[in-house]
């Protein structure tokens, strides 16, 4: 990650890390504003909303454009910040769990910093899917998962707080096990799952053995392979842009005019029950529900051809 050991602590996942950062961020004053977008993770949206009662702040939400481009995403964030001049805390999601959209975090963090706004970054889906160093993102507060793209067991994540910013996050429920200048005092959840934590070195060793750049290249190859074929199917809409700065491995789709939860659930069920292809519906997107595809690194082109053949049937492009 390119950070000091003293800047990270283990958590039970990215959700716990981010909830701790949002709840513990102590620079907000009554009347200040906080801002997030429709593609941010639900639990993080709830935590941002909770700050209204906790800190007395004004909470604002806006929608990321669809179809998204780097230019219109940057413009949307700039417009949202201009429309909410009291904003002092911005939530960003590096790679959306809904659509796979990858934000230009460094540019957005710089935009926020120029306005005196701090950023909390949700990197649950980016570490292990794309190759980066945390410090290069220009963000001081980040939550990570280890059980997604790194491959550790369920129940392990990381909280990152830049060393010089530790005082801006409250100690966790007044923790006294660790000194206030120890990052571990910012997260205290009782007895951890030692078995899961003891598997982390093996997961990281495999991650390094395969290589972060090789993993990213593999995910991008698999994503681009199926998306190119899916774009040839009538009535299939890809919600995630092809710009490599805005996407990595995850991408979502929907059938034209069928963005309701019921519509997307029907597609998911047909792919699963009739064709043995596992996908997942995701809601919360401003323009409607979507179906997420997250290729595993061991999938082959033949596997993806089978998915495309199934999608052709489900979308009505081919007889079943």
Backbone angles phi, psi at 80, to 5 degrees: -65, -40
* Strand positions, DSSP E, 12-113: 33-37, 58-62, 87-93
pLDDT of residue 276: 97
pTM, rounded to two decimals: 0.97
Enumerate domains of the chain plus CATH numbers. Answer: 5-201 (3.40.640.10), 211-314 (3.90.1150.10)
pLDDT of residue 46: 98
| Euclidean distance between CA atoms 23 and 299, whole angstroms | 39
Backbone angles phi, psi at 255, to 5 degrees: -85, 140
pLDDT grade for 279, boundaries at 50, 70 and 90: very high
Cα distances (Å, whole numbers) of residue 169 to 23, 125, 173, 188, 283: 8, 23, 11, 13, 31
Each residue's pLDDT tens digit, 140-188: 999 999 999 999 999 999 999 999 999 999 999 999 999 999 999 999 9
Assign 120 to helix, strand or coil: strand
Each residue's pLDDT tens digit, 41-100: 999 999 999 999 999 999 999 999 999 999 999 999 999 999 999 999 999 999 999 999
Averaged confidence pLDDT in the chain: 97
Closest CA to 151 of 217, 210, 226: 210
Each residue's pLDDT tens digit, 183-239: 999 999 889 999 999 999 999 999 999 999 999 999 999 999 999 999 999 999 999
pLDDT of residue 291: 98
Closest CA to 170 of 270, 313, 320, 28: 28
Backbone angles phi, psi at 253, to 5 degrees: -145, 170
pLDDT grade for 320, boundaries at 50, 70 and 90: confident
């Amino acid at each position: 990650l390119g950070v000091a050991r003293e800047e990270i602590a283990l958590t039970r996942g990215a959700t716990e890390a981010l909830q701790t950062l949002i709840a513990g961020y102590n620079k907000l004053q009554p009347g200040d504003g906080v801002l997030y977008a429709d593609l941010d993770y639900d639990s993080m949206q709830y935590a941002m909303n909770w700050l209204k009662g906790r800190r007395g702040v004004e909470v604002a939400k806006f929608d990321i454009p669809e179809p998204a481009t780097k230019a219109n995403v940057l413009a949307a964030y700039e417009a949202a910040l201009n429309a909410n001049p009291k904003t002092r805390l911005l939530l960003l999601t590096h790679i959306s769990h809904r659509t796979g959209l990858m934000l230009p975090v460094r540019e957005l963090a710089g935009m926020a910093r120029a306005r005196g706004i701090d950023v909390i970054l949700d990197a649950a889906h980016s570490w292990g899917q794309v190759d980066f160093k945390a410090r290069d993102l220009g963000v001081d507060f980040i939550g990570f998962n280890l059980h997604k793209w790194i491959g550790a067991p369920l129940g392990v994540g990381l909280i990152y707080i830049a060393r010089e910013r530790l005082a801006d996050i409250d100690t966790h429920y007044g923790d006294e096990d660790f000194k206030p200048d120890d990052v571990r005092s910012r997260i205290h959840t009782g007895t951890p799952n030692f078995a899961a934590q003891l598997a982390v070195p093996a997961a990281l060793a495999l991650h390094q053995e395969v290589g972060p750049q090789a993993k990213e290249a593999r995910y991008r190859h698999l994503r681009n392979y199926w998306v190119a074929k899916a774009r040839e199917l009538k009535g299939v809409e890809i919600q995630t842009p092809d710009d490599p700065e805005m996407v990595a491995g995850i991408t979502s789709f929907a059938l034209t005019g069928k963005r309701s939860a019921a519509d997307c659930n029907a597609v998911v069920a047909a792919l699963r029950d009739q064709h043995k292809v596992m996908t997942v519906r995701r809601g919360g997107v401003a323009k409607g529900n979507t179906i997420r595809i997250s290729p595993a690194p061991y999938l082959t082109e033949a596997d993806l051809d089978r998915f495309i053949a199934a999608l052709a049937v489900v979308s009505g492009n081919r007889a079943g």
